[in-house]
A and B are shown apart, each in its own frame.
Chain A
Amino acid sequence: MSIEKGTISSQQLLFLMAGFVQGSVLLIDFTVGITEHQTWMVILAGLAIAAPVVFSYVVLAKRFPGMNLVQINDMVYGRFLGKAISIYYIFFFMMTLSFNIRDVGELYITFLMPDTPFIFLLIVFTATCAYAVTKGIEVLARVSHLFVVTGMLVITSTFTLLTSQMDFSNFLPLFELPFIRMFQGIHIVSAIPFGETVAFLMIMGCLNKTEHAVKSTFFGLLIGAVSLLIVAVRNTAVLGRTQAIWTAPSFQTIRLIDIGTVLTRMDFLIGIAQTILIFLKCSILFYVLAVALSHLLGLKSYLPLVLPIAGIEVIIAATVFQSPVDHAMITQNAGIIYSAPLIFIFPPLSLLIANIRGLPKNGKG
């Protein structure tokens, strides 16, 4: 039984994943406060750590074809424990979604439209996400490649426009920072951009052919990671030491573009790209949340839940943090701790248990 009738192809999975990871570009800006000019190393290390974990997700999904996370949990852990774990996941999705929505609001409030009431931005954004979700995962998957291509274009073009202002000696000295900060940075990077892809466990059930799932996931992850890397390198090369003091280094970097009299003042460009990418990420999370919740409650379709979830998310996003500083502190320090079990422990554990118990039994799933 499946709530969603749509199917997605592995190419669309690739782009969904790439867009999802790219949506965290602003997150890199938060990490810079901790890891300064070694952010690029942290990204590579985070990718290296997250890759096997994501691999376990894909293997798990391939083992239970057509089933999504909630159903897998039910099968592997039994009904009660499985439901408890699913609730834990749903809580995670809910909070993550509200953090991301808040991210968009903060982006506009800080830079682009500072006088607009915060909740207005949240409502409009969430409403558009809700509208996209009512169309189904298939439509989202179909347009994902547009977002990814736009994101890549913006990132690479801003990189090229800034080459004249880049100073690659800003990367030296390597390995200057104490390891504890690097460790924290790696933890953040592997948990948030890469680790949140655990949400895809809900979507992989909709793949129509699972042969290329591993390749698609990896390439998607790679494209996303490359985008993050280019952004980190660009910011470090251009801003140098000042990277650590701005709240959003990406923005300041773009503001420095000043070629001729025409190619100046392009900060909105990155605002647009960022909004689009976070929109994709939020829509995916929203969809995942709606489907998971409707599975849990035993509903036939996720549509009636869309509006209530939208309302709840807006309220959470508006009230959960006091300020961007609060947001940064909590996600950097506390957020990754409560999400770590969901990302690093449970899926491989499920895989192990499934192997031991020989699931899925024939005919099931």
Chain B
Amino acid sequence: MGKKMKIILKCLLFFFMLMTLSGCLSAREINDLEIVVGIGVDKDEEPGKILLTAQVVKDTAGRASENGSEGDGKAFWNVSSRGNSVFDAVRQITYKTGNRLFISHNKAVIFGYDIAAEGLEEYIDYFLRAHEMRPTALILVAEGRASDILNIKPEIEKFPAFNIAKLVDSYVFTSNFYKVNMKEFASCLMSDTSAQMAPLVSIAQDEESNDIYMSGMVVFKRGKMVGKLTHDEVRGLLWVLGKVTSGVIIVPSPNGQGKAVLEIIKAKSKVTPEIKDGKIVIHIKIKEESSLSEQTTTENLADNKALEKIQEALAEAIRREIMLTFDKSRELDADIFGFGEMLHKKYSKEWKYIKDNWDEIYPTLDLIIDVEARIIKTDLLKKPAVPSEGEK
């Protein structure tokens, strides 16, 4: 009994000392956290340095109303610092906050326009490597300085970063831009041929207030920004990628007077690359369903003949959007569609020779687009309220 008890007692003492002396180092009380919800990276005036802006949650969010006189009711604090590298700047923020930043809840990383033009390769590493960063964080480019974007107080949300995340998620409604998270961006960066994309955020200058809105997408090539895509051009891209979820297409009505406005309900795409006689041809097949949501003409569009004509016009419109985007991408010489990777997957042997010359080959690609558009409902009206001349 003595010997066993001795061993057990010694073990217990050992563990007691171990636990109490060394264990708690990883502990961070919640009050000591500086919860970061958004990060902005800009070029600083000093050459070689960047300005990092972090949007930190203030604990007194609920009690802002108590301190009536002071405080502008902001629930967040944009703290910035300058550093030679991203991590350097992140640590230097502790000069102002007193605690390390807690980046795990970061929703978005916004790069300033100037940094994007210069090239993101130097700055992207920290955001992938830091163990607190999550690959679900969004990446965006600001049309201007990122710190300005983060400063705009939104009307509905408490934090600008939440607001931005919400805005980015709203792509499903219009399909005029799309969401890019860190993992996808990194995946595109790793590819030899694909061009990376990120949503573009701009500030709309109204008389009373500044609101931010999503104004399109930015195209990168090897980390450097090479151009912008407008809303319509992005949709052309999304048709091919099959990521169109909803949106509005306006086509002229069959009789030429007025427009038919259609809401996209569903869209699918199938892309097949093919190497024929030394030339690369991409077959794109789009299947789309929409509904007639509005018409500005008095002609009754809700009959089969009119619908067929509208469907043709619709298919033409979609084709045009795609070609518009493709032309823009040819102009920028950036493979935003990912055709290179598709070729890689299908023709791996040939790919070895093609990939080095992809920049020259890309503009010579041929697209064969086949669109099948259907209108499956006309919402609540069978006939327009304003009857046409012939029916009166």
Contact = CB atoms under 8 A, between A and B. Distances in A.
A and B touch in the complex (CB under 8 A): yes
Interface of A: 110-111, 113-117, 120, 123-124, 127, 169, 172-173, 175-176, 239-242, 245, 252, 255-256, 258, 264, 307
Given A115-B25, A117-B22, A307-B7, A172 B183 contact: no
Given A242-B186, A255-B134, A307-B7, A114 B345 contact: no
Contact of A173 (B18, B23, B131, B344): B344
Nearest to A123: B18
A173 B135 contact: no
Interface string B104-134: 0000000000000000000000001001001
B306 interface: no
Given A114-B131, A117-B25, A173-B351, 18 more contacts: A116-B22, A116-B23, A116-B26, A120-B18, A123-B18, A124-B18, A169-B342, A172-B346, A173-B344, A175-B348, A176-B348, A239-B183, A242-B183, A242-B186, A245-B190, A252-B183, A255-B135, A307-B7
Would you list the 5 A-B pairs with minimal beta carbon distance, nearest first? A173-B348, A172-B345, A115-B26, A113-B26, A116-B26
Nearest to B105: A265
Contacts of A115: 25-26
Interface in B1-43: 7, 15, 18, 22-23, 25-26
A127 B14 CA distance: 11
Interface residues of B, number: 23
B136 interface: yes
A178 to B, nearest CB: 12
Contacts of B128: 245
B99 to A, nearest CB: 14
A175 B348 CA distance: 9
Contacts of A175: 348
B191 interface: yes
B255 interface: no
Contacts of B186: 242, 245
Max chain A Cβ within 10 angstroms of own Cβ: one of B136, B191, B342, B351: B136
Interface of B: 7, 15, 18, 22-23, 25-26, 128, 131, 134-136, 183, 186-187, 190-191, 342, 344-346, 348, 351
Nearest to A258: B136
Contacts of A241: 187, 190-191
A248 to B, nearest CB: 10
Given A116-B23, A120-B18, A242-B186, A256 B135 contact: yes
Contacts of A111: 131
A117 B183 CA distance: 30
Contacts of A173: 344-346, 348, 351
A120 B187 CA distance: 36
B157 to A, nearest CB: 14
A63 B190 CA distance: 54
A256 B136 contact: yes
A169 B273 CA distance: 14
28 contacts: A114-B131, A115-B25, A115-B26, A116-B22, A116-B23, A117-B25, A120-B23, A123-B18, A124-B18, A127-B15, A169-B342, A169-B345, A172-B345, A173-B344, A173-B345, A175-B348, A176-B348, A241-B187, A241-B190, A241-B191, A242-B186, A245-B128, A245-B186, A255-B135, A255-B136, A256-B135, A258-B136, A307-B7
A124 B7 CA distance: 17
A7 B327 CA distance: 74
A114 B26 contact: yes
A115 B28 CA distance: 10
B182 to A, nearest CB: 9
A120 B134 CA distance: 26
B26 A242 contact: no
Nearest to B345: A172
Given A173-B348, A255-B136, A256-B136, A116 B190 contact: no
A242 B190 contact: yes
Nearest to B133: A255
A173 B347 CA distance: 8
Contacts of A127: 15
B241 to A, nearest CB: 11
A111 B104 CA distance: 12
Nearest to A115: B26
A302 B351 CA distance: 60
A109 B242 CA distance: 40
A97 B345 CA distance: 41
A120 B346 CA distance: 50
Nearest to B15: A127
B28 to A, nearest CB: 8
Nearest to B28: A115
A127 B18 CA distance: 12
Contacts of A110: 131
Contacts of B23: 116, 120
